[in-house]
Structure 1
Amino acid sequence: MSPLTGLAFLAGLVVLSLVIGLVLRARNGRVTHPAVDDRLDPGLFGVDALGPAATVVQFSTEVCARCPGTKRLLTALADEREGVDFVHVDVTHNPALASRFNLLQTPTVLVLDGAGRTAARLSGVIARESVIAELDVVGEGNRARG
């Protein structure tokens, strides 16, 4: 390979890495509201039941540096709110589950309503205020239906 070809290849890799980094950074901490109305089975997450008001599900991996802090945050929020359960799912050795939920980074958090429908999805650095806002929305929806 000529030096010019090698240099062009290296430059292409740098540009590709930069684009991927910018895309992941833009997605970091973002809240999305899936349009699906599927009720998720608690067995998917290895639990018998979901919270009566809401369930916060955290997907993580063994090598995720932010996951332990996110787990502490979400556990505390669930403990503060009546009817809200927290479920931690390590997908390190469960690629089928990671694929099922299209996990591109960890932590990824789902906020499920009382019926098990996905109300919100958060990825990357999870802000306490974002989770509180989503739980408030789910709570309002539960009161409107109930």
Structure 2
Amino acid sequence: MTTPARATSDNVVTPADVGTDAPFGEKATLLQFSTEFCAYCPATRRVLGALAERNDGVEHIDIDLTHSPELAQRFNVLQTPTTLVLDGSGAVRARIGGAPKRPELEASLAEILLGETRAA
């Protein structure tokens, strides 16, 4: 289920917040929270990775929570996969609990990318 999120300064995520050195996307980031035992995470990883590859300025980052329960608590991850759709500033624009449905995911990303185009 996709939950829209209003972009505010208190819901901005940085790579350091999730313990990664991987850079976030210039336009958007698909931030996936996974665990080693998650049955739906590999398929979600493939979907998100392919979507990021098809869109310039979009990155997919997969964070394994198996040994990082503090991150699960901080980001209120109650199931895996959980995906946060971040805009170019790192603001959370959508939250998807469970395996994302491709149309909902693409719509969330398109909203961000179209907003970037209009602002340019």
TM-score norm. by structure 1 comes to: 0.75
Asked if residue 116 in structure 1 is aligned to residue 82 in structure 2, the reply is no
The aligned counterpart of 1:40 is 13
Identity of aligned residues (%): 42
Taking the TM superposition and a 5 Å limit, the aligned residue runs for 1:80-99 are 80-99=54-73
Q: Which runs of 4+ in 1 moved over 2 A?
A: 143-146
Taking the TM superposition and a 5 Å limit, the aligned residue runs for 1:20-99 are 30-35=1-6, 37-38=8-9, 39-45=12-18, 46-99=20-73
Q: Which amino acid aligns with 1:50?
A: F
Greater relative contact order (Cα < 8 A, sep 6+): 2
The CA RMSD over aligned residues, in Å, is 1.3
> Quick check: which has more Rg, 1 or 2?
1
Alignment partner of 2:59: what SS? strand
- Partners of 1:40 and 1:125 in 2: CA distance: 21
Q: CA deviation at 1:145?
A: 2.9
Q: Which runs of 5+ in 1 are unaligned?
A: 1-29
Q: Which runs of 5+ in 2 are unaligned?
A: none
Q: CA deviation at 1:144?
A: 3.1
Aligned residues: 117
Q: Which amino acid aligns with 2:68?
A: N
Higher helix share: 1
